[in-house]
A and B are shown apart, each in its own frame.
Chain A
Amino acid sequence: MREPRLGRSIARRTATVAALGAGLLPLAAHGQVTPEQATQIRDAMSNRVEALTILGGASGIAGADFRSTGRFEFSEPADAAIAVSKFGGAGDIGDPQPLGSLAVGWQPRLQGNMGWLEGTQHLNAGLLEGDVNRIKTYGIEFGGGVRFWVDDHLSFAPTLSGLYGHTSETYTANSVFMRTNLETAKQIGLVDWTLDTWTLITGVDIQYLIALRRTIITVTSSPVYYHTESFESSSASVNVKGDSGTWANMVDVDIPLGVELFGHELRMGGFYRWTGLYGGLRDGLHESNFNEIHGRLVLDFLTQLWKVQWIGIGGSYIRGPNISGWTAGADVVFRF
């Protein structure tokens, strides 16, 4: 009976990241861009937009407050803040049903997400000192699949979904250099651009449930593939066509405490999740993986409040080779 969850994660993030293309401006604005550099710039921008679209809009990537512990490629020293909010998740609907005459159960699975990302970068060195670069990404994802139960413990859920993303970039020139060259930078499409993208997302969620008395341990492995392309761009320099991947492996523990508060049983739990990043996502974020530890303390509302499994508080700490982050807030899970 366990499972279906459509979760809510609202997170705000601060980070030290290099803004898209901003670090490349000196080269380009001088008109000294070689074909190789132009390709490099386009690839870097493409990867970054692809990564931010997936980070901001896809349900499978963790939300958190990130802070850079390293430097991104092509960047000049900069302070930046990125705020990402997400509302969404994935869940299985109803109880498993027999699949014909096979000894397999099935149930539909839905997944969706709405997310938005806002980044502000203050450039602190070189020709661009004092300039401000802002980037915004909106994303909406919807899709689904089917979960197949091989037995009462092991199940697989192949899924397919689509993600629409809209990214815009604006640049405020305060430095002498950029006040002089801003129009040139706009003309060649390095600043003040907008971009619409679509992303095809397919993956499989492999899950194994273990019940130890009343404690539920869930082991999950979930490889996901993303193909992103732009279909509308205000800049000839900014287009996206790329492939990315994630491979998340997670162990979740859900423990009932046997104590009631306001008529609802307290439960505590948490998970450890390792997520490998591949392709444009890895290049765009300059991260090979995330390690996430999550803890929660919640009240059990299952069958006591319509479709709500639990309500409580939770928090995560995330660490990658170059960034670390955290998130804290309401932890609400639904069961359909």
Chain B
Amino acid sequence: MRPAEARATATLSRRICRAPAVVAALALAGCWSAPVATVKPMGEPRLIQDGIPVESVQVAVVSSVDRSAGTIELRMRGRAAIWTYRIGPQVSGLDNIKPGNVVRATVTEELAVYVLRDGELPGKGRIAEDARVLAVDASYRLLKLQYPDGRTETFKVPLGTRLEQMGAGNSVVIQPVALFALRRRG
């Protein structure tokens, strides 16, 4: 190695060795904060957008199956209520499903995203939220929600969703739509 090269390498090495000190110094001056869903949402109370179709894979307990009505009732993990989904034509194996079974269900749902004040929307009254927005990735169209029990779930939302208006603290109402895949667990 030529002397000049040795000096250049030594200089690079010294800089890398100093990096932890630089990182520590910057860390002390950091202003990063973890995303929080309970922050006060930005903007006036309003409905930002509803009817946002999303797909979700959930572990759920079957409450009932009504073949004549073509519906199934599921209690999703982390959600208090029992929700009713329309059974899609592609769902098979329902004969083996009984109330109390734990299943892995692939469902479609619709989201409505609000800015609420004290849980209310002017002119509409109280809105029962199912989750809150924790984080938004507009580039990859990801909406990360946090449920009341602290569990989080990330949805891929379709093109055209007004993510630029959404942010942490927004209230989300989830509407069950359809079940299109079901697999019994255990």
Distance in angstroms from A257 CB to nearest chain B CB is 10
B127-167 interface with A by 8 A CB criterion: 135, 137-142, 144, 154-156, 159, 164
A102-B28, A150-B27 known; A300+B140 contact, CB < 8 A: yes
Q: How far, in whole Å, are A2 and B9 apart by their CA atoms in the complex?
A: 33
A214 touches B1 (CB 8 A): no
Contact yes or no, A279 B34, CB < 8 A: no
Chain B residues within 8 Å of A202, by CB: 16
Chain A residues contacting B154 (CB-CB under 8 Å) are 1, 303
Kindly report which residue of chain B lies nearest to residue A258, judged by CB atoms: B159
- A211 CA to B139 CA, complexed, in Å: 8
Contact (A211, B138) CB under 8 Å given A47-B1, A247-B12: yes
Asked whether A77 is an interface residue with its Cβ less than 8 Å from the other chain, the reply is: no
Can you name the residue of chain B whose Cβ is closest to the Cβ of A206?
A: B19
Is B15 a contact of A104 with CB atoms below 8 Å?
A: no
B33 contact set on A, CB distance < 8 A: 98, 103
Which residues 102-133 of B have a CB within 8 angstroms of A? none
Interface of B is mostly: mixed
A58 to B6, CA, bound (A): 21
Main secondary structure of the interface of A (DSSP, over half): strand
Q: Which of A1, A97, A158, A224 is within 8 Å of B137, CB to CB?
A: A1
Q: Return the contact of A279 from the options B1, B27, B141, B156 (Cβ within 8 A).
A: B1
Residues of chain A lying within 8 A (CB to CB) of residue B5: 278-279, 282-283
- Interface residue tally on A, bucketed by range: 35 or more
Q: Does A316 sit at the interface, judged by CB under 8 A? A: no
Q: Give bound CA distance, A265 to B26, whole Å.
A: 37
The list of the 5 closest CB pairs from A to B, nearest first, reads A279-B9, A245-B12, A204-B19, A104-B30, A150-B30
* 18 CB-based A-B contacts, threshold 8 Å: A1-B140, A2-B137, A2-B139, A2-B140, A104-B32, A149-B30, A150-B30, A156-B22, A156-B26, A158-B23, A202-B16, A213-B138, A245-B12, A245-B13, A256-B140, A278-B5, A279-B5, A303-B154
Which residues of A line the B interface, CB within 8 A?
1-2, 43, 47, 96-99, 102-105, 148-152, 154, 156, 158, 202-204, 211, 213-216, 223-225, 242-245, 247, 254, 256, 258, 260, 265, 278-280, 282-283, 300, 302-304
Taking A2-B139, A245-B12 as given, write out 9 further A-B residue pairs in contact, using a Cβ cutoff of 8 Å, ordered by the A residue number: A97-B34, A103-B32, A202-B16, A214-B138, A242-B1, A256-B140, A265-B141, A279-B1, A303-B140
